[in-house]
Amino acid sequence: MNIIDYLNINNDFRNTDKYIQNIFYFFIPNKFIMDNTTITKNDIIKENNIQKRFIFKNLLSTKQFAELIGIRKIDSYYNNDNIIMNLYQSKEKDNLIDDYLYFFEYILYT
């Protein structure tokens, strides 16, 4: 299993073993792994490595990441099952891709 697979499977990294924490430490400061509330918008924006930004997103959760960088709703739609789907766009263009970031949200009731 590579690190990207691990990131996709696990959402809470503060409870992982020391080996994985040491791998993350190679990418980002340990303080962010142990306390994700210290991650700021400036930490994300100034990071020019997309893999490190991906780790920030997973440490925070997609919703926290999106709220931190600033988003606005640009479209809403109800599907055939009457489930609302929302499309969000970042308020500012991302400096790595020179375009806006987009987030899709839906609530699936079980």
pLDDT tens track for 90-105: 999 998 889 999 988 8
Contact 106, 86 (CB under 8 A): yes
70: amino acid identity, one letter: G
Instruction: Write the single-letter amino acid at 53.
Output: R
Handedness of CA 72, 75, 79, 84 (dihedral sign): positive
The structure's pTM equals 0.64
Domain residue spans in the chain? Answer: 3-68, 70-106
pLDDT tens digits for range 37-93: 888 999 888 888 888 888 888 888 888 888 899 999 999 999 888 888 999 999 999
CA 16 to CA 59: how far, in whole Å? 12
